[in-house]
């Protein structure tokens, strides 16, 4: 097993546990993770977060491993944090965007994947506008595939970093009231989060304009409302979702101004939540639409903690997927 220098005792213990690896060679969906898998990733991320506090933020764990970041949709936080995570673990990395790939010339995703596979990468991190694209890639690649967001399907590492942030501030997830408010219909973050939070025992409330609430969502055991005040009442965690205008076909609400008036998070609305509640947003935030600036920048906000924790979570995922040797150790 590769050892990480200068780890604390707690960090070393978590990394020793982490060498068990995940049950799958890919991370495609939160639904494929057990509660034990989720806890393993979160515990491993604790050790990875410690690396980010050092003067030299680099360990040799993934030396000799090659990671390709294939980002076919725009990204700031996810792409950057994956790149930082890979570099901190000493992997050799390459990032490709849709604008500079041969897909502009008509090459299919499968052909792109097979060509990349011919160069023997160890992992491929994929963001794609089509739901299911990561599963398709995993079917044709020997490399481990990590879903960095596929269409309106899932965004598993975002849900994991959200859970890590909740646990950091609340010491637990089980039993917490979590209110998720916004564009539920188009959000892959929403789908990953409800799967993870249900697995971890949270009491989930969801809220948004009725046209942006997926049909049949109540069958998942969620509490559904169109009243922000009801959703936020006594909440431990308030999670806002971006209004995804780029995915909307048709009119879902009269105007952005009216959306903010009815569903935007203000200081007055946050007063209905518990006094020690936290407010989250996966970004990018639309100020004056989903959230008022005084809330985004105020004492409730842990939005920048989410960004910081994204690096630790993605380091943990890379580490655990790389550890799928015969005995689970990193070779």
For the segment 195-241, what is each residue's pLDDT rounded down to a tens digit? 999 999 999 999 999 999 999 888 888 999 999 999 999 999 999 99
Query: Which pLDDT does position 285 carry in this prediction?
Result: 94
Q: Given this model, what pLDDT does residue 9 score? A: 39
pLDDT at 250: 65
> How large is the C-alpha radius of gyration of the chain?
20
Percent of the chain with pLDDT over 70: 89
For residue 1, the model assigns a pLDDT of 38
pLDDT at 252: 74
Tokens found for residue 121: 């990468």
Residue 107 has pLDDT above 60, yes or no: yes
Whether 61 and 183 have beta carbons less than 8 Å apart is answered as no
In the predicted model, is pLDDT for residue 4 greater than 60? no
* pLDDT for res 20: 64
Specify the pLDDT at position 106. 79
Scanning the structure block, which residue is given the tokens 């219909």? 185
Statement: residue 25 has pLDDT above 90 = yes
In the chain, the percentage of residues whose pLDDT exceeds 90 is: 78
Least confident range from 6-10, 111-115, 136-140, 291-295: namely: 6-10
pLDDT 10s digits, 144-201: 999 999 999 999 999 999 999 999 999 999 999 999 999 999 999 999 999 999 999 9
- pLDDT confidence of residue 102: 75
- What confidence tens digit (pLDDT) does each residue in 285-323 have? 999 999 999 999 999 999 999 999 999 999 999 999 997
pLDDT of residue 177: 98
Asked if 303 and 280 count as a contact pair (C-beta separation under 8 A), the reply is yes
User: Which pLDDT value is given to residue 56?
Assistant: 95
What pLDDT does residue 21 have?
75
Full DSSP string of 58-109: --STTTT-EEEEEE-S--SHHHHHHHHHHHHTT-EEEEEEGGGSGGGGT--H
DSSP 8-class letter at 217: G
For residues 246 and 187, the answer to whether their CB atoms sit within 8 Å is no
DSSP H or E stretch at residue 312: helix 303-322
pLDDT tens digits, one per residue of 109-125 = 899 889 999 999 999 99
pLDDT interval class at 3 (50, 70, 90): very low
Laid out side by side, the sheet with 66-71 consists of 92-97, 66-71, 123-128, 144-150
For the chain, what is the mean pLDDT?
Answer: 89
């Amino acid at each position: 097993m590769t050892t990480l220098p200068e780890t604390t005792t707690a960090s070393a213990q978590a990394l020793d546990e982490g060498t068990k690896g995940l049950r799958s060679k890919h991370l495609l969906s939160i639904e494929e993770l057990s509660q034990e898998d989720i806890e393993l990733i979160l515990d491993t991320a604790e050790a990875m977060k410690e690396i980010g506090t050092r003067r030299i933020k680099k360990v040799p764990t993934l030396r000799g491993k090659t990671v390709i970041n294939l980002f076919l949709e725009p990204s700031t936080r996810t792409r950057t944090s994956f790149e930082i995570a890979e570099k901190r673990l000493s992997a050799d990395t390459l990032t490709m965007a849709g604008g500079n790939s041969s897909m502009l010339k008509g090459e299919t995703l499968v052909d792109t994947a097979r060509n990349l596979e011919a160069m023997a990468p160890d992992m491929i991190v994929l963001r794609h506008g089509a739901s299911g694209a990561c599963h398709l890639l995993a079917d044709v690649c020997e490399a481990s595939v990590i879903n960095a967001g596929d269409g309106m399907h899932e965004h598993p590492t975002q849900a994991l970093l959200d859970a890590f942030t909740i646990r950091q501030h609340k010491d637990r997830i089980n039993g917490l009231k979590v209110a998720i408010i916004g564009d539920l219909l188009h959000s892959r973050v929403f789908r990953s989060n409800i799967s993870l939070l249900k697995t971890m025992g949270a009491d989930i409330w969801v809220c948004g304009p009725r046209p942006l609430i997926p049909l049949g969502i109540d069958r998942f055991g969620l509490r559904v409302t169109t009243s922000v005040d009801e959703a936020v009442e006594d909440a431990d965690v308030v999670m806002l979702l971006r209004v995804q205008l780029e995915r909307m076909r048709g009119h879902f609400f009269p105007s952005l101004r009216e959306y903010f008036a009815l569903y935007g998070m203000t200081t007055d609305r946050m007063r209905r939540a518990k006094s020690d509640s936290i407010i989250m947003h996966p970004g990018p935030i639309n100020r004056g639409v989903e959230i008022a600036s005084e809330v985004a920048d105020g004492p409730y906000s842990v939005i920048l903690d989410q960004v910081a924790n994204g690096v630790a979570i993605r380091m943990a995922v890379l580490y655990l997927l790389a550890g799928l040797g015969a005995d689970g150790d990193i070779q």
